[in-house]
Every structure is written in C-alpha cells, then in structure tokens.
Amino acid sequence: MRILGLETSCDETAAAVLDENRTVLSNIVLSQDEIHAPYGGIVPELASRQHISSISYVVSESLRRAHLQVKAIDAYAVTQGPGLIGSLLVGLSFAKALAYYFQKPLIPVDHLQAHIESAFLEHSNICFPVMALVVSGGHTSLFFMKKELDYQLIGRTRDDAAGEALDKIAKVLDLGYPGGPVIDKLAAKGNEEFFSFGLPRMTDKSLDFSFSGLKTAALKKIKELKISKRHPQFSDFIASFQKAIIRALLSNLKRAIAKFNLSSLILCGGVARNRRLCQAFKELAADHHIPAFIPSSGYCTDNAAMVAALGLRKLLTGKSQAPFLALNAYPRFL
C-alpha cells in the first residue's frame, strides 16, 4: 500500500509518499519564499502560477526518492482547504487527474486537520482526548478531539493569525519574509519584559483569538519610539512582542485545559517552530501534568507527509468519499 499526498494550500508545493505503516518514503517541499520575499507577504496570483510550474516536478521527485513508479501508487490524498483558492485548485486538479487516470481513490484532506496529524506521524503514544493548538501563517485554532478523526473547533482567530502578526511586524521592521524565524532568532537576544503589551480578551468569554490589537499596539510603539534595527532596545522590542503573542496563545490554551478533561496536548503549524513558544507550551503542559507533543521542525511547516498520513487514516477507517471528480476546494473553514 502506497499513498501519495499533495499540498498546495499556500506557498509551498509539496508531495510525499507513505506506506501502509505510515513510514515516510519521500517528502518533498518546494518553498516559494524567494518569490514572495520582495513583497513582504504572499501574492496569491504568483503563488498559484508557481504551483502550476512546480507541481509536476515535485510529484516526480517524490516518486523518484521513494523508488516508485506512479503506477505503484494505490491512493492519493490532497489538501482541499482552507487556503488560497487558486493554490488549492492546482493541487486538487492535479490529484484528481492522477486518481482518475489510474482509477485509484482520492481522499480530500483538511489542511488544519493535516497539521494536527503531523504530531501523530511522529508519535504513536498520543492518547485521546486531545487538545490541539494549530498556529500558522494563515490560521490560529484550537481543536478538541475526543477520538480519532473527531475534530471539534473550539476557538479560532477573529482577525489575524499569530504567524501573520509576526510576519507583518517583521515586514514593517524590514526583517524580510517570512518574519517568524527572524523574530525567533532576534528575540533570543532581547529582554522580553522590557516593553509591555496587553492581553487580548474576548468580551464574550469565548476561546477565540485576536491578534490585530497586538499588531496595532506594536505598530504604534514602532512609530512613537522610532523602533528600527538601529534602536538600542530593538531586540528587547522583538522579544516583548513575541512574548505578547505567546501569552495570548497560551492563555486561551490554559482556559481550554480548565474546561476539558485532556490526556494530551498538541502544538503544531509553522509557528510551533518558535523555540520560546515550544518552551512555554511544554511548561504549561508540565504544570498540568498533561503529556505534550510538538512535531519536529520539518513537519511543523506545510508539508505533504501530514496530508498523506491523514489521507491514509481516513482511507483505512472508511471515512473517504468515493466519487471525487465533483470535489471543490474551500478557502475557509467548513
């Protein structure tokens, strides 16, 4: 049994092959960072065009590294949404064509659920019920999972995603794109207590997130205090802003822990690469005596191994749709 996964929801063209034991036979990710860097953020039209020119090569390379011919693939999995609609359509159309031509099943996969699956890919000891915090450039969401493949969305961002806020402040400070990894490095040199930022709170006591207020507060400070790379407190500012984002993320997680009876915590998505966030997440989990799981760096950011893994899980539990040609991509949460 061999499953080929495809991921094109944002700015990474990715393909991966897994076997029935969930062993990753190949995992190819072609980043478009260089294409979008001059704009300080993703340009959707450029992203979909780049997916079109890369996808064939990326799929061939994933097969070559798995030492397989395309005929040897038994099933396909593809990200159906959420994401950039043009980008999603490239992967979905390509996967449909392959599955139709070779008469194999095609399993559509949700991008956020695939991020959660990336933790299960490397850890076989994750027990349910699970609380998963998905933090990426496009999404910030909390999912409660009572059992396998049962995703209950209990909190999501009402405006910016956490990674988006980091990327935007990095852009204003001329730190390049994507800003998250640069902020991670610079923050390590700064005093995170130097500047204070408020804690965003929902008036309706929901577990939703909001990062636009923090972003606006940071922009105001940058203007008023003339913060730039040459400012003596530059790394203190970066560290304090990063701390504010982490505090906002973990304060909701803490409230979720109090509400639910949990056996495991998962932190995943691109921002889960952040070292300070990982440390604070592990401390929070230890304080509550709940085992904590974070995918390794390469599985935090967008990849197709997580898509293939979730596709395989759905296929093996019979939770996959048979007719796939009518499938459409969805840009937002269903």
The binding site for Zn ion (CB under 5 A) comprises: 136, 302
CB nearer to ligand KG4: give 198 or 298.
298
Q: Would you count residue 235 as binding ligand KG4 (CB under 6 A)?
A: no
CB nearer to ligand KG4: give 18 or 112.
112
* Segment interacting with ligand KG4, rule: CB under 6 A, options 85-93, 267-275, 313-321, 322-330: 267-275
**Interface with ligand KG4: number of residues (CB under 6 A):** 20
Q: Which does 78 bind (CB under 5 to 8 A by kind): Zn ion, ligand KG4, none?
A: none
Shortest distance in whole angstroms from residue 236 CB to ligand KG4: 18
- Which 3 state secondary structure label does DSSP give 95? helix
User: Rule CB under 6 A: which of 292-331 touch ligand KG4?
Assistant: 301-302
Residue type, 4: L
User: Rule CB under 6 A: which of 105-164 touch ligand KG4?
Assistant: 136-138, 163
- Which 3 state secondary structure label does DSSP give 15? strand
Residue in 4, 6, 10, 18 binding ligand KG4, rule: CB under 6 A = 10
Give CA–CA dist 7/27, Å, rounded: 11
User: Is there a contact between 149 and 317 (Cβ–Cβ < 8 Å)?
Assistant: yes
Query: Which residues pair with residue 81 across a beta bridge?
Result: 110
**Chain centroid to CA 100: how far?**
29
Roughly how many angstroms between the first and final C-alpha of the chain, as a whole number?
30
DSSP letters of 68-95? --GGG--EEEEEEESS-HHHHHHHHHHH
Give CA–CA dist 91/234, Å, rounded: 41
Give CA–CA dist 328/92, Å, rounded: 8
Query: CB-based burial of residue 332 (10 Å sphere; 0-12 exposed, 13-18 middle, 19+ buried)?
Result: exposed
Q: Which does 181 bind (CB under 5 to 8 A by kind): ligand KG4, Zn ion, none?
A: ligand KG4
Shortest distance in whole angstroms from residue 139 CB to ligand KG4: 6
User: Is there a contact between 163 and 136 (Cβ–Cβ < 8 Å)?
Assistant: yes
CB nearer to Zn ion: give 155 or 178.
178
CB nearer to ligand KG4: give 108 or 137.
137
Q: Would you count residue 166 as binding ligand KG4 (CB under 6 A)?
A: yes
| Residue numbers at the binding site for ligand KG4 (CB under 6 A) | 10, 136-138, 163, 166-167, 178-181, 183-184, 269-271, 273-274, 301-302
